[in-house]
Structure 1
Amino acid sequence: MQAQPLIAVSDVAAASRWYQAILDCRSAHGGGEYEQLTFDGRMILQLHRWDAHHHAHIGDPQCRPYGNGVLLWFWSDDFDDAVDRIAEARATVLEGPKENRNAQHREIWLRDPDGYVVVIAGPYGDVGM
């Protein structure tokens, strides 16, 4: 089994560009209503425009913050490269980069353009480096 999270966004193309820059992933679908983002050929995230098609369970774009209680958590083999991409993209950093000794890795917490919280974590054992 593999998770394939889907988030609702206001601008699919802009969100796709942001996630591609931050996660070093690729577009596998493209379009203004729906997108699939992949890394090494595996889908890691789906983007869906709030008002495209009728999906009763996608949520309400008027309720903020989006994803309250849910974090989009990504693991990266190369945490330092991820931090460099985040700086280059001038992403909004909420916390870090920091060591999380409980999880035995480094992590950085961001806010995406739609307000979702995104965490990039390094590999297990990536502390004290």
Structure 2
Amino acid sequence: MSEPVTQSQLAEVLETMKAMQAQLAELTLEVKVGQAEIREKFNTVDQKFQTMEAKFEEKLNTIEAKIEAVRLEVQTNREQLVDLGKRQGSTENRLWALLVALFLMVVGLLAKITLFDQV
């Protein structure tokens, strides 16, 4: 049934338990150090990510501003083209009026020369 345990056996078991306790304390310390290193690396990565996010947002805002500037420039150019088209139309009308007046003047001069040659 149960065997009597000697004091030397108990001392050996106690030493084994103390060694295990020391190993457990070392492992706990290693785990805590590992957790601290992981936390530090995570914080470093998080800071880098936040920095990259800020740079990305800044560049995105810059691009959006440039797009808005180009859009306004295109709108201004369209308005200028419409204005130039209107001016071109009025210039063409004046040119046609001048050509018609010159044609009528030449026809009138020819008519005067041919019909009223004796003046």
TM-score in terms of structure 1 length:
0.15
| Structure with more strand by fraction | 1
| Structure with more helix by fraction | 2
TM-score in terms of structure 2 length:
0.15
Give 1 or 2 for the bigger CA radius of gyration: 2
State the structure with bigger RCO (CA 8 A, min sep 6), 1 or 2.
1
